[in-house]
Structure 1
Amino acid sequence: MELSDWFKGFEDGVSRLSPEQREVFFSACGEHCVKSGTLQVYRELHARAGGDLDVFFLQANELPGVKAEIVEKDSLYHLYFMECTCGLFRRGYVSTPLLCECSRQSILYVLHSLWKDRRFRVTICGSILRGSPCCKMRIEAGMSGQKAV
């Protein structure tokens, strides 16, 4: 059995999960993926920004393959990835757009790790695996005392 055959079963299994089950599954996946190096990049960016969300997203523009926009100061941002960096996709093992939940969960993990006093909602607006030229995430930030955004 080829590894690519195994991943066909993986894709099929993921497609059978409810959206809530996929969130749980991919939250663990995204956390492990981001801990392999990307989290440190964002920690350094957070430190340079002095914890300021607006400065953080402005500086994210300096990262290769990343573009960020401040839509509303201290509350709404767009984060773009110009290419899919998922190793499973890049190696040709997985091509389902359901895999993008892993990216969404990794962004949530990063944000909650850096701003423990904030609540975040991340929405996938478009992704390469869904046919868009880049991945676009909408990030809403609220205070921990507010209802989850």
Structure 2
Amino acid sequence: MDYKKKAIDCVKNTVLPIQRAQFEECGCSLDEQYKKYGNTEMLIARVIEPGHIYEIGYPKCVCDEVLSGKVTDVSHCECSRNSVLYILQDLLPDKDIQVEIIHTVLGGAEDCRFKVTVR
């Protein structure tokens, strides 16, 4: 499965515009964006090392395919990892960004978390 394409299709007209507006409102700073918007019912985000390392995720699984029961395989969480990567690459096009899965609901956790490294 091409999770990159699936992720882009999922977030390009929904989550991306919201994240972009928040990012711009916060002076194009992930640190400030995550401090202001990082503890909501839809997003968990915290600054681990300012300007460099972040932990972001969701308090619950937000994938319609998972919520409907259509998808149960943990490999599908690669789609979420790719959506986080796509959004951050759009916000920070001149940076090298890596996103790693920490844990996910499909993997047995209570929430979904990703480690983001910005270089």
Structure-1-length-normalised TM-score: 0.76
**Aligned: 1:121 with 2:98:** yes
2:83 alignment partner, SS class: helix
After TM superposition, list the pairs within 5 Å mapping 1:52-131 onto structure 2: 52-131=29-108
2:44 alignment partner, SS class: strand
Q: Percent of aligned positions with the same letter in both sequences?
A: 26
Greater length-normalized contact order (CA 8 Å, ≥ 6 residues apart): 2
Specify whether residues 116 and 41 from structure 1 end up closer, same or farther in structure 2 by C-alpha distance, changes over 3 A only.
same
Q: Out of 109-118 and 50-59, give the one that drifted further.
A: 50-59
Q: Distance in 2 between matches of 1:85 and 1:123?
A: 18
Post-superposition Cα deviations, 1:7-31, rounded to whole Å, max 9, x if no partner, equal: xxxxxxx5xxxxxxxxxx1010000
Gaps of 5+ in 2: none
Root-mean-square deviation (CA), in Å? 1.2
AA aligned to 1:97 is V
State the number of aligned residues.
Answer: 119
Structure-2-length-normalised TM-score: 0.94
**Aligned: 1:44 with 2:21:** yes
1:62 Cα deviation (Å)? 4.8
1:68 Cα deviation (Å)? 1.2
1:95 Cα deviation (Å)? 0.8
The answer to whether the 8 Å contact 2:39/2:45 transfers is no
1:118 alignment partner, SS class: coil
AA aligned to 1:127 is T
2:35 alignment partner, SS class: helix
Q: Pick one of 108, 118, 134 that aligns with 2:111.
A: 134
Please identify the structure whose Cα radius of gyration is greater. Answer: 1
Misfit runs of 4+, over 6 Å = none
